[in-house]
Amino acid sequence: MADTTWLTLAPAFLLGLTGLLVLYVDSIGHSTKGPIAVLSLLGSLGVAGVAIALPDVLGLGPAGWSFVSVTLLAMFALALFVEPGSQNRRLIAGLSTAGAVGALGVAAAFLFTFDGEPVNPFGDALVVDGMSLFFAVIVASVTAMVTVASYNYIAEHSYQAEYYALVLLAATGMTLMASANSLVTVFVALELASLPSYALVAFLKENKGSVEAGLKYFLVGALSSAVFAYGVSLVYGATGSLQLTAVQNAVTGEFTGMLGMGVVMVVGGIAFKTASVPFHFWAPEAYEGAPAPISAFLSSASKAAGFVIAFRVFTEAFLQVSESAGEFLVLGADWVLVFQILAVVTMTLGNLAAVTQDKVKRMLAYSSVGHAGYVLMSLAALSGGGATATAKIEAGQFVLAGGMMHLFVYGFMNTGAFLFIALAEYWDVGRTFEDFTGLGRQAPVASVAMTVFMFSLAGLPPFGGFLSKYLLFGATVNSGFVWLAAVAIVNSAVSLYYYSKLVKALWFDERPDDKKPLEISSRPTGLYAAVIFAAVVTTAMYGVFGPVSDAAVEAAAALL
């Protein structure tokens, strides 16, 4: 009987396969187009015959052979549409977007039909449950918006196939991070997401700022990977296992030096990925220097992927429920206290730094750091709750779901904000707040969308950011951490200043005499479509918040 559990990883397979197909399209030349098309068609027919006659060969089963056959048929179809000697911009962008949308559709279908029973494809190294599917939806959504927007943004640049392939392969790594069920799988998926990201930040090779940002991101990322890997080795040395539940079973309730140091180093590695203080210093440089769609991709999808491994690793490997004592047992080191400190410092420093910025893109970068602090509350408030183990578990599920919902909404409102910056860069508007003055009169539709993003990021109704913050802050209070929620509310009020500062520049400020007049000569379809879509979803979140938050609570229940 063939094993078909691998099909549950279809979102990751679709993203990775699409990335490879993009490179395949780019490799087809005048002399190879015909032979490749013929071989792909013959291969597809041959594999289809195998699927019918010998379905269990190699253990793939009918589903596996059908997948291979459809892939070869897609290669045949793509070869027919390729124009050798050109960049095939429309074909490559369309294929990339189709792959991301397909992954989104499959992940959403799996999520809302999920029966609650986790699936372990390829042994215990990976797990597919509500949590992994929820974050696959976030990553695929952001990827789809970024690929649509990039069609216009990189229109005049070379190496477009490589650009889209790197985005899709990075998204594949982020999706696998959500399914990682062992520390070594976490590390491999983390590197699969990180390595393409370094190249994407430095994609604008003629721009010194982009190259410098890519180099800094690479160097700091390599250091953080080393710290994380060393932490994993210490955990393995102390427990003799890398699989998360096996680590939990091997750990006693006492803190030990080797295990404690390993846990702290794992926290450091994850804090880098989520741009948490004091491991955040790469983020403003990378986000400012990178192409704006890549800034959106890293600050939304990559951040969500970093948090999903934090949620899974710390709840499954370093947390136990004591039924007799009616409390959570934090294992290895008091990482809950560490996350409480990180949450307060991260949200406070991020928001205060954003207040002082005069460049819009850099302001959004520090804003992203502040939002990382809000989501860290999900881990910082885990040890609270009621007097019984059941009450604590319910409170823990609620606060984790709050963090997940904020990341879901953040994926749209923050991506949309950075894509608006991409639109401004496309028009050569400038970088400072003063450069954006009067843009509301020149581009009212896009500016209305940016206003939605700013107010939603600040947590004002009637936008999605208000609902997600309300759920997260309320869950934190419900867990008994009123002081932490109060700090978050104060920081959210501070953020309203710099968000409204941009809205004021767009709509109300007069353009300074020393600034050149705005000249908007085009309305790039891809960028406009992505920005408007993000704004519509952010505004319409009231209509879908209930079902999605229920899915988030069910996903959190898989961990606690």
What confidence score (pLDDT) does residue 33 get?
Answer: 59
- Region 294-322 average pLDDT: 88
DSSP-assigned states of every residue in 398-467: HHHHHHHHHHHHHHHHHHHHHHHHHHHHHTT--SBTGGGTTHHHHSHHHHHHHHHHHHHHHT-TTSHHHH
Whether residue 368 lies inside any domain: the answer is yes
Q: How many domains does the chain have?
A: 1
What confidence score (pLDDT) does residue 410 get?
Answer: 93
The lowest-confidence range among 81-95, 184-198, 531-545 is 81-95
| Neighbouring C-beta atoms of residue 355, cutoff 10 Å | 13
Comparison of pLDDT for 559 and 176, the residue scoring more: 176
- Region 132-148 average pLDDT: 92
What confidence score (pLDDT) does residue 35 get?
Answer: 62
- Region 23-50 average pLDDT: 62
pLDDT level of residue 411 (50, 70, 90 thresholds):
very high
Cβ proximity of 478 and 395 under 8 Å:
yes
Whether residue 519 lies inside any domain: the answer is yes
Q: Look up residue 445 and give its two tokens.
A: 């539709």
Residue 319, H or E segment:
strand 319-322
Comparison of pLDDT for 143 and 76, the residue scoring more: 143
Summarised one tens digit per residue, pLDDT across range 354-394 is: 999 989 999 999 999 999 999 999 988 887 766 677 777 78
What confidence score (pLDDT) does residue 2 get?
Answer: 44
Q: From CA 355, how far away is CA 358, in angstroms rounded?
A: 9
Whether residue 37 lies inside any domain: the answer is no
Comparison of pLDDT for 421 and 87, the residue scoring more: 421
Q: From CA 426, how far away is CA 185, in angstroms rounded?
A: 39
What confidence score (pLDDT) does residue 282 get?
Answer: 84
DSSP, res 290:
S
Residue 552 domain boundaries: 43-558
Q: Is the dihedral of CA 297, 300, 306, 311 positive or negative?
A: negative
Distance of CA 79 to the CA centre of its chain: 32
| Residue 329, SS3 per DSSP | strand
Whether residue 38 lies inside any domain: the answer is no
Q: Above pLDDT 90, what percent of the chain?
A: 33
Q: From CA 281, how far away is CA 369, in angstroms rounded?
A: 10
pLDDT level of residue 430 (50, 70, 90 thresholds):
confident
Whether residue 262 lies inside any domain: the answer is yes
Q: Provide φ and ψ at 324, rounded to 5°.
A: -70, -40
pLDDT level of residue 1 (50, 70, 90 thresholds):
very low
Q: Look up residue 98 and give its two tokens.
A: 């189709």
What confidence score (pLDDT) does residue 57 get?
Answer: 52
What confidence score (pLDDT) does residue 87 get?
Answer: 64
Q: Provide φ and ψ at 523, rounded to 5°.
A: -125, 85
DSSP-assigned states of every residue in 540-560: THHHHHHHHHHHHHHHHHTT-
Q: From CA 287, how far away is CA 22, in angstroms rounded?
A: 25
Percent composition of the chain: helix, strand, coil (DSSP 3-state, to 5): 75, 5, 20
Q: From CA 251, how far away is CA 236, in angstroms rounded?
A: 11
What confidence score (pLDDT) does residue 443 get?
Answer: 87
Summarised one tens digit per residue, pLDDT across range 38-48 is: 555 555 556 55
Q: From CA 111, how far away is CA 553, in angstroms rounded?
A: 12
Residue type, 22: V
Q: Look up residue 396 and give its two tokens.
A: 């823990």
Whether residue 25 lies inside any domain: the answer is no
Whether residue 376 lies inside any domain: the answer is yes
Summarised one tens digit per residue, pLDDT across range 321-349 is: 765 555 677 776 788 888 999 999 999 99
Whether residue 17 lies inside any domain: the answer is no
Nearest to 172 by CA among 193, 198, 187, 191: 193
Query: CB neighbours of 283 closer than 8 A, spacing ≥ 6?
Result: 275, 299, 365, 368, 369
Sort 51 into a burial class: Cβ within 10 Å, 0-12 / 13-18 / 19+: buried
Mean pLDDT of the chain: 83
Alpha carbons within 13 A on the beta-carbon side of 117: 3
- Region 483-511 average pLDDT: 90
Summarised one tens digit per residue, pLDDT across range 166-204 is: 999 999 999 999 888 899 999 999 999 999 999 999 888
Comparison of pLDDT for 167 and 112, the residue scoring more: 167
The pTM for the full model equals 0.91
